[in-house]
Structure 1
Amino acid sequence: MKLQTLLNKEFTLLDKKYDRYFLIVTILIFSILFLNIFEPFNINRWYSDSRIISFLRLSSYGVVVALVYLFTQFPLRKIFRQNTFQIKSFILWFVIEIVIISLVYIFLYGNPLGNFINDFIFSLKYTVLGICLPYSFSILIIYYQKHRTEIKTLQQKISRPSNSQLLGFKDERNKVKFSVRQSDVLYIESTDNYVSVYYSAENKVQRKLLRNTLKNLENMFEDSTIVRCHRSFMINREKIEMIQNEGKKLSVKLAHIEKIIPVSGKFIPHFSEYLPEK
């Protein structure tokens, strides 16, 4: 039962075209270098060639493999509508690719009209031994890249402040002077070289003064609900009670605040979801 569950899991490492191209190029380069440098299976003794001819012949084995994978990973997958794999279908597809490579080798380098069965077994044996290493190497790199991307995405999500997290308000020297829960922040107003941070605490509106600029705070809180709405104001979108649209002028009423805060034209797109469609 566990084996069946495992075989039915999705195999996503070759879903993207980039990853398939990476597989093909890696196998091509790896095969050419590996065959010419290490000369496995005494492959250099299969033919009596000069050094240059031997290099070209050995390299051609890698080129053939790459061309077969280029065919199986793109046109053939499209023909059979194999856009995604389960582990079991991926294994089957891998076996099919090995068989195709073996057959191509027979027709290019062997004698298909001779003892076909023996030639096929011979070709299949060395194809499996030769392809497993570069193929596994490519898949491991793709897995590592995908895993690293997923971890980075998760870290970014975790680092984004939620409504229950504290926002650290830094001064112009990048030092945290105080922290306020995001859900308690109401608005921020610029006053010369300072900003006034208004927030709710103990059912009252409180105010903290901070030496910094709205521009710096805008960059600092770009992933939060605190957004710029005017050259002199930032507001907490979660605290909006009413938006008034009078012609080209837009203003905002926040919870617990009597003050009406203007919205400049350049920041109106931040509030387009609250406005009626034209």
Structure 2
Amino acid sequence: MAKQSEIMNFLKQPFPHDTSLGCSIRISRDFGIFVFLFLLVFRPFNMNVLPEQVIWFNCAVFGLVTFVCIFLLDSLLPIFFPDYFKESNWTTGKQIFNVLVVLFCIGVANSLLFRVLFGAQFNWTNFWRAQFITCLVGLLPIAIFTLYRQNIWLRQFRKEAALLQEKLEDKKKVEITETASTPAPQLITFAGDNSNEKLSVEDNHLVYLESASNYVKVFFEKNGRLNYTIIRSTMKKVEEALQDHTMFFRCHRTYIINLDKIESVEGNAQGYKIKITGSEERLPVSRNLNKEFSDRLLAVRPEALS
């Protein structure tokens, strides 16, 4: 039972999942080149009896098919199944399943290539042979790449988050000892798209905002508890309403946070996770905003965290 629990915990670990076009191209290119070089060096399927030009051509075709399969699956699946491929829900288990799906699709394409390039009959024996060879060639480098990527990002973000948390605690201690008067709260008004829809909240009570399709959830403190109201609006509009209030920062495409309400910063393989006052949810920070988030949170020079 303990072993099963360890396996389940491993499969449920957060895993970095970048669905950007640039990342898809890089990963597809790298594995396409790997397949090309692997076949060119080891020359399986009795390719060494073929003319040199034919060998190069066959290796290039297999590499190109690998590139196309990975790129199409990596680019199209998140479009058709956006909720499933959300990085906030992405785990090691999902990553492993996704890799197996990709390998299966490459195997299907390779079984067709065997018929075209080597004249092999298209039957179940050759189909499963293509699947076996595809897994044999691709499974080990993909497993190494997957584990390396997870571990390197996990160590990086945990280290950075620990440093950031330490500096945040130091900043809070300094603020407690300061005798300067607290600025008077300012009223922020959000105008919804519906007629006469308005919400006014004092800036020191506004905790964070979350995008929800065509609506925005506004979380605020009231009577010592965290409450929220939903207004019909966009993040762009509410961001414009907050532009004169420096304590608010859009840390993610779906979240705007009050930097003064951050209790702690943690790190996992996906990046920074923020603990906000009154909420048990850990809010994400987009990886491309890590530097800006650190500087804004601590009000330090850019080089201070280096």
Q: Aligning the two structures, in what range does the TM-score lie when normalised by the shorter sequence?
A: 0.5 to 0.7
Amino acid at match of 1:28: G
Offset at residue 272 of structure 1 (A): 8.8
State yes or no: 1:240 paired with 2:241: no
Deviations 1:63-109 (A, max 9, x none): 21121011111113322343144444433332222221111112223
Q: TM-score, normalised by structure 2?
A: 0.48
Contact kept, 8 Å, 1:32 with 1:62, in 2: the verdict is: yes
Measure, in 2, the Cα distance between the counterparts of 1:49 and 1:113: 15
Deviations 1:197-239 (A, max 9, x none): xxxxxxxxxxxxxxxxxxxxxxxxxxxxxxxxxxxxxxxxxx3
Q: Which residue of 2 aligns with 1:96?
A: 101
Specify every segment of 5 or more residues in structure 2 that has no aligned partner in the other structure, as ranges: 185-243, 249-306
Q: TM-score, normalised by structure 1?
A: 0.52
* 2:159 equivalent among 151, 162, 182: 151
State yes or no: 1:6 paired with 2:9: yes
Offset at residue 133 of structure 1 (A): 2.9
Q: Which residue of 2 aligns with 1:183?
A: 176
Offset at residue 125 of structure 1 (A): 1.0
* 1:162 equivalent among 153, 171, 176: 171
Measure, in 2, the Cα distance between the counterparts of 1:149 and 1:21: 24
Offset at residue 54 of structure 1 (A): 1.1
Amino acid at match of 1:240: S
Provide closer, same or farther for how the CA distance between residues 63 and 11 of structure 1 changes in structure 2, counting only shifts above 3 A: farther
Measure, in 2, the Cα distance between the counterparts of 1:57 and 1:23: 21
Offset at residue 241 of structure 1 (A): 4.5
Measure, in 1, the Cα distance between the counterparts of 2:145 and 2:183: 56
Offset at residue 270 of structure 1 (A): 7.5
Specify every segment of 5 or more residues in structure 1 that has no aligned partner in the other structure, as ranges: 165-180, 187-238, 244-268, 274-278
Deviates more, 1:86-95 or 1:101-110: 86-95
Contact kept, 8 Å, 2:73 with 2:102, in 1: the verdict is: yes
Q: Which residue of 2 aligns with 1:105?
A: 110
Q: Which residue of 2 aligns with 1:24?
A: 28
Q: Which residue of 1 aligns with 2:60?
A: 59
Offset at residue 34 of structure 1 (A): 2.7
Q: Which residue of 2 aligns with 1:83?
A: 85
Offset at residue 135 of structure 1 (A): 1.5
Q: Which residue of 2 aligns with 1:33?
A: 37
Aligned length: 179
Contact kept, 8 Å, 2:66 with 2:106, in 1: the verdict is: yes
**What secondary structure is seen at the aligned counterpart in 1 of 2:49?**
coil
Contact kept, 8 Å, 1:23 with 1:135, in 2: the verdict is: no
Provide closer, same or farther for how the CA distance between residues 115 and 155 of structure 1 changes in structure 2, counting only shifts above 3 A: same
Amino acid at match of 2:132: K
Contact kept, 8 Å, 2:107 with 2:130, in 1: the verdict is: yes
Contact kept, 8 Å, 1:25 with 1:66, in 2: the verdict is: yes
Equivalent pairs: percent with the same residue? Answer: 12
Measure, in 2, the Cα distance between the counterparts of 1:182 and 1:272: 15
Whose RCO is larger (CA < 8 A, sep 6+)?
A: 2
Provide closer, same or farther for how the CA distance between residues 150 and 125 of structure 1 changes in structure 2, counting only shifts above 3 A: same
Measure, in 2, the Cα distance between the counterparts of 1:110 and 1:60: 13
Provide closer, same or farther for how the CA distance between residues 87 and 47 of structure 1 changes in structure 2, counting only shifts above 3 A: same
Offset at residue 158 of structure 1 (A): 1.8
Contact kept, 8 Å, 1:32 with 1:59, in 2: the verdict is: yes
Contact kept, 8 Å, 2:114 with 2:120, in 1: the verdict is: no
